Chain A
C-alpha cells in the first residue's frame, strides 16, 4: 500500500477530501483487539463516532481502493438512515468505477436505499435488472434474485 496505492495522487486526493486518516501498528492494543485485527493491511472504515461500517484485508491497487473507500463512506450514510447521501455515493461509485469489485455491492445497496426512500419495490427490481445485465456472475446478483419476482 505504501509503495503503490497511497502515493497515487488520485488516492491521496480522495482520502484528503473525504476521510480522517489514521494509521496504527497491527499489534497496537487495545485497538487491534477491539477491531479483531488478525492480518495486515487491515483497513477499516468508521463513522465519525467510531462505529465500523466496512473493511478489507490485504493489498488493494489504486483502481480498487477509491471505490472501496467510497463504498465504506456510502455505507456509513446508509447505516445511519441517510439514504439520500448513500444513494448519491452508490450512484457515483457505480458510474465512475463500474469494473471495480465494489460496484456490484453498490448497485445492490442502491436498490435497497431506493426502496427505503420510496417504500416501493421498483428500485429493488431495477437493481436486480442492472446487476443481471452488468454483473451476471456476482454474488450480489444472486442475493438480488428475489427482487426479480416483484
Chain B
C-alpha cells in the first residue's frame, strides 16, 4: 500500500515546492 512521502525538513520541502511549483502541506504533529 502506498504511503505519504513525508519530508521532515521544512527548508528541503520549501526548496522542492519551489522547484515543482507545488503548494505545501505543513503538519505540526505531537510525536507523543
Contact = CB atoms under 8 A, between A and B. Distances in A.
Contact of B26 (A1, A40, A46, A76): A46
A139 interface: no
A20 B3 contact: no
Q: What size tier do the contact residues of chain B reach? A: 20 to 34
Contact of B24 (A1, A7, A20, A41): A20
A46 to B, nearest CB: 4
Given A25-B31, A76-B23, 17 more contacts: A20-B16, A20-B23, A21-B6, A21-B25, A22-B9, A23-B28, A23-B29, A24-B28, A25-B29, A31-B10, A40-B30, A41-B30, A42-B28, A45-B26, A46-B17, A46-B24, A48-B17
Interface of A: 1-2, 6-7, 9, 12-13, 15-16, 18-26, 28, 31-32, 35, 37, 40-50, 53, 69, 72-73, 76
